[in-house]
Chain A
Amino acid sequence: MSFPGRIISRISLYLPRLGLSALILCLVSGLVLAFYYRPMGNVFQNVEEITTLVPYGWFFRQLHYSAGQVFVILMLLHTLDHFFRRRYRIYALGEWISLIVSLALCFYTLFTGFILKADQEGVFAGRIFMNIIETLPVAGGAIARLFIVPGNSFFFLPYLYHSFFLPLLIIYLMRGHIREWFPNERFLLSGGIGLSLYALFVSPRIDIPPDASVAVVEGPWFFLGIQSLLKVLPSFLAGLVIPGLFIGCILVLPAAGPALRALSFNERIIRIGETGLYCLLIISICLYAFLTLRAAIWGP
């Protein structure tokens, strides 16, 4: 194997193992935080107490935040690695769908965590999310209430999803894909030391109270692209149709070849169809990465 090939295969081997270590740390720190966090009443004050009053609260909050981010980023890189090397071809369609759905749910878990900070960014993100779902025709309002409700229980459903439904669902979906649930001690140790050092030396960002007046409010990094799109496109299109189409195309990617084959197209058309969808997805990923980067540098 050539030198770059060896490096890539080494990275492909390390990414999921380091990710699993981050997941374990994220679950453990989340369990600790659950002893003080309350999703009702003055949630902003509760989070501030965790950060400034409760012993080692700042450490566990940062550890939970960084472990969650690292896990999802590594999972994203792991999926991109498979996607770019077109390894989706070796997966059964069901397994590929489970992986993509679990990655989407991981992002949703990060997003609910972002809401649960209960600062201005979190509250606004929750309201935007609720209002976008409400744009769904016919039952939008009712469907939105399955995820988040206005009023005193605003944080309750995101909390339920964040700490109960989503972790269970993600672990269930990934159960067949993960070969060993406890990674090698070396990975666990290096992940633990790295994330603990981050939590020890990097202070959490200052939380802005929900009622403060701030010129620009940004969403989580992975939704900055959508935040930019929401400025120029209708909410239904930018918030639901475009992300939905993108995820839908990735989901059916391994099925594109077999589906065309079943329709008795010749092999050349099948190859063009599958490669066309693959290229379209690459262009979409690049465009979204550009939008995100642009929003991160110049504001959404």
Chain B
Amino acid sequence: MERRGFIKKGLQWAASLLGASFLAYPAFSFMTFRKATKKRIVFHPEDQAGAVTFKEGVYLIREPNEIFALSAQCTHLGCTLNYDAVSGRFACPCHGSVFTLSGKRISGPARKDLYRVPLTKTASGDIEAVLEVG
């Protein structure tokens, strides 16, 4: 190929790539945009009776001097953890990670501890956990 032809072809390719990226970037931004939403999980007084209560992806844990909530999603790849009342631990049914009742990782492929979910207590005695989705 002659030098002039080569340069012309190269310029054509560069122009098409530039044109495509002008369209591709906005399209990618549009397609991947998600509005962050919050999900509120309400534990009514009757839900708070047990030491460990599960509701809509959140474990509410009542300890002698503290009430806190943990996200039930495994920090490895997001499966919902099971609570084993005998050992007092959370176990992942997909890849076998194990966590303590306070959410600390013990074993398995997960590397992080469980996320603590912020709680608020209402005047009527309900406890609200707010989970961020998306």
Contacts and interface: CB of A to CB of B under 8 A. Distances in A.
Interface of A: 124, 127-128, 130-132, 142-143, 145-146, 149-151, 210-211, 213-217, 219, 227, 230-232, 234-235
B49 interface: no
B109 A217 contact: no
Given A124-B79, A235-B76, 10 more contacts: A124-B93, A127-B77, A131-B76, A132-B77, A150-B134, A151-B134, A213-B82, A216-B93, A230-B95, A230-B109
A131 B112 CA distance: 14
Given A127-B73, A127-B77, A145-B32, A214 B109 contact: no
Contacts of B109: 230-232, 234-235
Contacts of A216: 93
A123 to B, nearest CB: 8
Contact of A130 (B78, B95, B108): B78
Contacts of B94: 124, 128, 217, 219, 227, 230
B56 to A, nearest CB: 8
Interface string B90-127: 00011110000000000011000000000000000000
A130 B78 CA distance: 9
A213 B39 CA distance: 22
Nearest to B28: A142
The secondary-structure label for the interface of chain B is loop
Given A127-B78, A131-B77, A215 B134 contact: no
B1 interface: no
23 contacts: A124-B78, A124-B80, A127-B73, A127-B78, A128-B78, A128-B94, A131-B77, A142-B28, A146-B31, A149-B34, A150-B134, A151-B37, A151-B39, A151-B133, A210-B80, A211-B54, A211-B80, A213-B83, A214-B82, A217-B94, A232-B109, A235-B77, A235-B109
Contact of B32 (A131, A146, A214, A234): A146
Nearest to A135: B77
A230 B78 CA distance: 13
A151 B132 CA distance: 10
A124 B74 CA distance: 11
A130 B32 CA distance: 13
A231 B93 CA distance: 11
Contacts of A219: 94
Contacts of B134: 149-151
B57 to A, nearest CB: 8
B78 to A, nearest CB: 4
A293 to B, nearest CB: 19
